[in-house]
Amino acid sequence: MDDLQFRRAIYADPNNLNADTIAALEQDASKKQFANDIALLDERIKQALQIPVPDYLCNKLILRQTLASHQVQKRKKRFHLALAASVAIVGGLMLNFMQFSSAYTNLGDYALAHVYYEEGSIANNANNQVSLTLLNKKMSAFDGNFSKSLGKLLVADYCRFDGMRSLHLVYQGITSPVNVFIVPKNEQLTFTSAFNDKQYYGNALGFNDSNIIVVGDKNESIGQWKKNISETVAWSI
Amino acid sequence: MMTKQVRYEALVKALHGDLYRYAYWLTHEKQVAEDLVQETFLRAWRALDSLKDEKAAKSWLITILRRENARRFERKRFDMSEYEEATITDTLSVTTEQELENHWLRDKIAKLPPEYSEPLVLQVLGGFSGEDIAGILDLNKNTVMTRLFRARNQLKEVLESEPVKRGVYNG
């Protein structure tokens, strides 16, 4: 090992000498002296590099991290709360919408649905008959009055269908009962004066505060029914 | 089982001193060094799960710190000659003969070109081997050894040319 190589090895890493360097150092007193000098220098360098570390730094580092992760948790919590609140509001609105809005957009659909809903519960040739007096008593809830009977009235009842209070009259028809509904005016349902589907025909009559709807099957003369109703019904103020 | 918090605190306690000193020798400013160490540990916290080998923690942290330091220069370029007037000095603690000498030598180390002082700090303070330093600084080992040689050589030369009496002696 030549001198330059030796010096380079010592200078580069005085504390981790390889076997060659140690052997060279053992043979030569001046080399040993040089190695000692550099080791001393290194010790001084080490001392000089040991600048004081602020006492508070360790705690400050831990504190900062704790605060940072606390902030993150708080933000997460807030986000979850906001999410839950949003879901609750949307849920509430939807429930409201479904409960208080009509499933039907016009009188015809409403009346047909009502007819189908109660179809079959009253037979056309049923025995019971409702008197005109009783009918007019019920009509008084709508401030209405019939001057004479329109036919054999099988049933006269208030019913609440799809959230709307109405008077449902069932008359004996030619082949199947004729349904007459007296319903209060409703802004959500558009007035349709004539409507039909495969089985039924219907007509509606609009009055000041109420609508009257007649629904019967295709053998029935709905026009005649309509005419009779408009001639016999009278509304008190 | 160690929680993340416990691991983090252990890491801070064991290595904040070394990291602060390293940051100081990198930046030559106490406040900047402190900020760098804080940034480094905050990043370390976020990535703590990626640290599998606790033994590699020191070089891992130093790598983060060097990256943070580089980012600092992207944000704002400092004039490197600014520290010429030895902002590094700690005059308050210059009390003993030993301290006085440290103080003087610190000044000399600070004046070494950074490519020489950095491997020296890593070797002497960090206790890293030539291979480790080569890995951290992304250099080959021979370059690292040459720089270490030059760093010590330069320091030895200034020490030999130093005046016999340093500082102010009264009486």
pLDDT digits (tens, 9 = 90+) for A132-150: 888 888 888 888 888 888 8
The label of the residue with tokens 């009783």 reads: A134
CB contact under 8 A, A11 and B153: yes
Q: Which residues have CB under 8 Å from B11's CB, separation 6+?
A: B41, B44, B48, B57, B61
For the beta carbon of residue A79, count every other beta carbon within 10 angstroms.
10
Asked whether the beta carbons of residue A16 and residue B129 sit closer than 8 angstroms, the reply is: yes
- pLDDT tens for residues A6-65? 888 888 888 878 888 888 888 888 888 888 888 888 888 888 888 888 888 888 888 888
For residue A128, give every residue at least 6 positions away whose Cβ sits within 8 Å of its Cβ, in sequence order, or none: A154, A155
| Contact present, B148 and B137 (Cβ < 8 Å) | no
Point out the residue among A16, A50, A64 whose CB comes nearest to the CB of B38. Answer: A64
Identify residues of B whose CB sits under 8 angstroms from chain A CBs.
Answer: 8-9, 12-13, 16-17, 20-21, 24-25, 30, 34, 37-38, 41-42, 45, 88, 90, 93, 98, 101-103, 105-106, 109, 120-121, 123-125, 129-130, 145-146, 148-149, 152-153, 155-156, 159
| Cβ distance of B106 and A51 shorter than 8 Å | yes
SS3 A209: coil
B3 contact residues in A (CB cutoff 8 A): none
- First-to-last alpha carbon distance for chain B, in angstroms, is 64
Residue with tokens 């349904």: A179
Interface residues on A facing B, Cβ-Cβ cutoff 8 A: 8, 11-14, 16, 37-38, 41-42, 44-54, 57-58, 60-62, 64-65, 68-69
Contact B124 A47 (CB under 8 A): no
How many angstroms separate the CA atoms of A34 and A5, rounded?
Answer: 13
Position A186 pLDDT exceeds 80: no
Tens digits of residue pLDDT in A111-129:
888 888 877 777 777 777 8
ipTM surpasses 0.85: no
User: What pLDDT score does A85 carry?
Assistant: 92
Q: What's the rounded Cα separation, in Å, for the pair B91 and A236? A: 107
Of A37, A57, A62, Cβ closest to residue B37: A57
User: Is A14 in contact with B145 (Cβ distance < 8 A)?
Assistant: no
Q: CA-CA distance, A173 to A171, in Å (whole number)?
A: 6
Q: What is the pLDDT of residue A88?
A: 93
Q: Which amino acid is at A10?
A: I
Q: What is chain B's pLDDT, residue by residue, as a tens digit (171 residues)? A: 568 888 888 888 888 888 999 999 888 888 889 999 998 998 888 888 888 776 788 888 998 999 888 888 776 655 554 444 445 555 555 467 777 777 788 888 888 888 898 999 899 888 888 888 998 899 998 999 999 999 998 888 888 876 655 555 555
Please give the pLDDT value at position B2. 63
Compute the distance between CA of residue A209 and CA of residue A184 in angstroms, rounded to an integer. 6
Nearest in space to A226 (alpha carbons), one of A203, A208, A206 = A203
Distance, CA of A143 to CA of A126 (rounded, Å): 29
Structure tokens, A140: 């008084």
Query: How many whole angstroms separate alpha carbon A186 and alpha carbon B61?
Result: 74
CA distance A167 to A78: 53
Give the SS3 label for residue A49.
helix
DSSP per residue over B73-105, as a string? HHH-PPPGGGGGG-TT--GGG--SHHHHHHHHH
Question: Is the distance from CB of A169 to CB of A151 less than 8 angstroms?
Answer: no
